[in-house]
Structure 1
Amino acid sequence: MSCLNLLLLSLALLLSSIPHFASASSSLEEANALLKWKATLQFQNNSKPLSSWRTLPAASTPCNSWFGVGCNHDSSIYMLNLTSSQLNGTLNQFPFSFLHNLSHLELSVNDFFGPIPAQIRLLSKLVYLDLSGNKLSGVIPPEIGMLASLQTLHLHQNNLNGSIPQAIGQLTFLYELALYGNSLEGELPPSFGNLRNLAYLYLDDNMLSGQIPHEFGHLVNLMGN
């Protein structure tokens, strides 16, 4: 093989390896951000649900070894499912700005407390969000209306208060919305009439008042409970 051909082959091999190193680097960045959040959490009954979450060597990913983590073909994290993991802490240090490809986030049935941060808007690819069965408090942040791809939103059985934000009406792909078992008050937002794909709506066990807006007549796909 000539020197030129050998050089071209070496260059081709180098270029083909760049996407792999880039994706591994991105995945490692996501993992390190999750480890910082883990350090803020406490675990009930001496449980160790996140014992598999450990510092990774360079060019490694959490895809095949970390509990509750699912990855895309490029090794980026698309799913985080930590339901019923006896976790205690807040979402204040959750790495919203690092998980660019997260589409499924399930943190239900734990002991998370405090507010839902406005930074949740940064999870722009979310399709499924379940924060139910915790002790989250404060208002539902209007920034949640920026999750344009969201299809399922479960915030039930928390300590949320205030009114239901009009911004939820921006979630036009929403199929299921569960807000029951909180301390929400005020009137139902007319913007709910924009949720033409909504099939399941659970609002009971709150302190809502007023009449049902006539815009609810647009919810033609709504199923009976």
Structure 2
Amino acid sequence: MCKTWLVISTMESSLCYLISKCLIILLCLCIHLFTRFLSSTQPLCHDSESSALLQFKQSLKIKESASKIASWKLGGDNNDCCLWKGIDCDENSGHVIDLDLSNSNLYGSINSNSSLFQLDHLQSLNLAFNDFSYSEIPARIGQLSRLTYLNLSSSVFSGKISPLICSMSSLQVPNLSNNSLDGSIPQRLFNFSYSLQVVNLKSNNLQGGIPQSWSEVNNLKLINLSQNKIQGQLPKSLAYCTALENLDVSDNQLNDVFPTYLAAQG
């Protein structure tokens, strides 16, 4: 009898232990799911940045039905601007770091007081394939000091490239191609950032020569200056751009399109 009681007691003890262990695991799972639910439902976007985005939207003419920013509005399920189309936020800080409004049917111009420049945590800005009505590229873009990627191609910009834009020391890939930019190519190209890898100024109206000082851009892999009005000769200093893999200067007015000192390097 005692032996039977001992077996039953041991079984009950094991069963209680198993049940308690299952309950602990279930509790941990519930806590994890509840934490994920809170993090997924809590708005990340900063109020100042959602306000800046809405002001930027209002400053432009937009074909609403075909634009990424048609859904940009506050209220209901739209209070988190990090969930708006064309926007990515840093998952830790909640700051807007990526703004992609390419092919968004934007019309008008971006003036120097635009609320766009309040988004000072931006790392990537893409406004390609819009229509900015032959306005100049606003110099204040140069104040977005964290930008590593800038794409303003095919967006009907004109005028000269501002020295302030060229002071952006974090840029890796600036693309200003297929616009109506004129004047000479800046001597101090994007502050000769060590991170600069690609420069695309294709299909503009840029004139003058290629600056000798470009040899200081040590990490450049691609330069596209094709379809401009560049004159003179390729500077010999380009031979010192040891990282350069692709140089396109076709359809210009250069005297020596592919000189022997660059041919020897390749």
**2:101 corresponds to 1:82:** yes
Match of 1:103 among 112, 123, 129: 123
Contact 2:60 2:106 in 1 (8 A): yes
RMSD: 2.1
- Counterpart CA distance in 2 for 1:160 and 1:89 is 17
Residue 46 and residue 61 in structure 1: after superposition, are their counterparts in 2 closer, same or farther (change >3 A)?
A: closer
Residue 88 and residue 97 in structure 1: after superposition, are their counterparts in 2 closer, same or farther (change >3 A)?
A: closer
Partner of 1:178: 200
Match of 1:121 among 142, 157, 163: 142
- Counterpart CA distance in 2 for 1:45 and 1:120 is 25
Match of 2:88 among 70, 81, 93: 70
Matched-pair identity in %: 34
Structure number with larger C-alpha Rg: 2
Give, in angstroms, the shift of residue 119 of structure 1.
0.7
Could you report, residue by residue, the CA deviation over 1:87-122 in whole angstroms, capped at 9, with x for unpaired residues? 112121533441121000001111123001111111
- Counterpart CA distance in 1 for 2:80 and 2:143 is 22
Contact 2:163 2:186 in 1 (8 A): yes
Partner of 2:80: 61
Q: TM-score, normalised by structure 2?
A: 0.70
Residue 48 and residue 106 in structure 1: after superposition, are their counterparts in 2 closer, same or farther (change >3 A)?
A: closer
Partner of 1:41: 60
Letter of the 1:204 counterpart: S
- Counterpart CA distance in 1 for 2:128 and 2:73 is 23
The structure whose residues are more often helix, as a share, is 2
- Counterpart CA distance in 2 for 1:25 and 1:219 is 43
Structure 2 gaps of 5+ residues are 1-38, 248-266
- Counterpart CA distance in 2 for 1:169 and 1:128 is 12
Q: TM-score, normalised by structure 1?
A: 0.82
Whose RCO is larger (CA < 8 A, sep 6+)?
A: 1
Give, in angstroms, the shift of residue 169 of structure 1.
5.4
Letter of the 2:222 counterpart: Y
Match of 2:50 among 31, 37, 47: 31
Higher alpha-carbon deviation: 48-57 or 123-132: 48-57
Partner of 2:14: none
Give, in angstroms, the shift of residue 34 of structure 1.
1.7
- Counterpart CA distance in 2 for 1:72 and 1:26 is 9
Partner of 2:34: none
The aligned runs of 1:202-213 (5 Å cut-off) are 202-213=224-235
Give secondary structure in 2 for the equivalent of 1:185. strand
Count residues in correspondence.
200
Partner of 2:220: 198
